[in-house]
Amino acid sequence: MYTAADIIKNWIRTRYTIEFLGTWEMIHNPNFKVVEFDHFRMQAGLPSFVMSVFIGNIRKMEAIS
């Protein structure tokens, strides 16, 4: 049985969600580093993609947190 947290974790690591977050950052954050984000965007949705690695690098991309 899945918990709500499991469903959200699975949804937030999909490629579409990561691309949406990147697009939102590009529109609303002039300091967002697209090049750094591209590395994570390309990995999103792969079975080996770990969301905690993405979250750990939010500061590097200067994403709004």
Give the whole-angstrom CA distance, residue 59 versus residue 4. 27
Residue 41: what pLDDT?
Answer: 86
Tell me the mean pLDDT in the region 22-38.
92
Q: What are phi and psi of 63, to 5 degrees?
A: -80, 155
**Mean pLDDT over residues 20-36, rounded?**
92
| CB 25, CB 63: distance < 8 Å | yes
Confidence of residue 10 (pLDDT cuts 50, 70, 90): confident
pLDDT at 36 over 90: no
- The yes-or-no verdict on residue 58 having pLDDT over 80 is no
The mean pLDDT value for 15-37 works out to 91
Tokens of 33: 């580093």
